[in-house]
Chains A and B, each alone.
Chain A
Amino acid sequence: DTGVSQDPRHKITKRGQNVTFRCDPISEHNRLYWYRQTLGQGPEFLTYFQNEAQLEKSRLLSDRFSAERPKGSFSTLEIQRTEQGDSAMYLCASSLVSGYNSPLHFGNGTRLTVT
């Protein structure tokens, strides 16, 4: 399977702890996106990278959130000092840089539960 891979699939943590998620995009894709989805809602955009450059960040991405994409390959999303409101599915997607005509391909997400 050469799709977008996310790890772990599930994470349970206690409030105040730090967590880190990893995303491996489709190999030739140079754009990588992070989304968050809460129950009953559609995914919400957090941030995206073109190669290693972080080009856009949503207002949802508070100071406790940081995303990196070293060397333009895999990406990590870290949440510091987790809060119960951070409980959600965190989705990663990738696409080619060919503008609007290149679909995003999503992974199956990391489900975070903060207790």
Chain B
Amino acid sequence: DAKTTQPTSMDCAEGRAANLPCNHSTISGNEYVYWYRQIHSQGPQYIIHGLKNNETNEMASLIITEDRKSSTLILPHATLRDTAVYYCILRDTGTASKLTFGTGTRLQVTL
């Protein structure tokens, strides 16, 4: 019962912006969009989350469409160290505070 859809893999040239899309057409009004990434052999790393408005922090920007049915994570200047699996997750605010991961997007940053 996947609630988000992400491309399996993407490539990005180093120094360019990486734009990672996520579709969540069945998102409910109380669900936040969370992004995590996982570098090989490490635990998932929190990147950013948002509800309706666009968000920006030192790592990335999150753009959420007005109807909230999709979002885009933007890494403004990708480096080789950004090579990882990126997960877009809807967080259920009702019954549980857990995160339910899908299979994510494997981003490969190349020279």
Residues of A within 8 A of B (CB): 4, 31, 33, 40-45, 48, 56, 91, 93, 95, 99-109
A105 to B101, Cβ gap below 8 A? Answer: no
B10 to chain A, nearest CB (A): 17
Q: Which of B19-27, B59-67, B76-84, B91-99 contacts A (4 or more CB under 8 A)?
A: B91-99
Known contacts A42-B87, A56-B98, A107-B43: does B103 contact A100 (CB below 8 Å)?
no
B106 to chain A, nearest CB (A): 10
C-alpha spacing A6/B91, complex, angstroms: 24
Chain A: which residue is nearest B99 at the CB level? A104
**Is B45 an interface residue when CB atoms closer than 8 A count as contact?**
yes
Please classify the interface of chain B as helix (H, G, I), strand (E, B), loop, or mixed, using the class held by over half of its residues: loop
Extra pairs beyond A107-B43, A108-B43 (11, CB < 8 Å)? A4-B43, A41-B103, A45-B100, A48-B97, A91-B43, A93-B43, A103-B34, A103-B46, A104-B99, A108-B41, A109-B43
B residues contacting the other copy or chain, number (CB 8 A):
24
A106 to B44, Cβ gap below 8 A? Answer: yes
C-alpha spacing A105/B104, complex, angstroms: 18
Residues of chain B within 8 A of A105, CB atoms compared: 46
B46 to A42, Cβ gap below 8 A? Answer: no
- Give 29 pairs: A residue, B residue, CB < 8 Å, sorted on A: A4-B43, A42-B87, A42-B101, A42-B102, A42-B103, A43-B101, A44-B101, A45-B100, A48-B96, A48-B97, A91-B43, A91-B44, A95-B97, A99-B97, A100-B91, A100-B93, A101-B49, A103-B34, A103-B46, A103-B49, A104-B99, A106-B44, A106-B45, A107-B43, A108-B41, A108-B42, A108-B43, A109-B42, A109-B43
C-alpha spacing A93/B75, complex, angstroms: 24
A76 to chain B, nearest CB (A): 18
A43 to B44, Cβ gap below 8 A? Answer: yes
B92 to chain A, nearest CB (A): 7
Cβ 8 A contact of B98, one of A40, A42, A45: A45
C-alpha spacing A61/B46, complex, angstroms: 25
B97 to chain A, nearest CB (A): 6
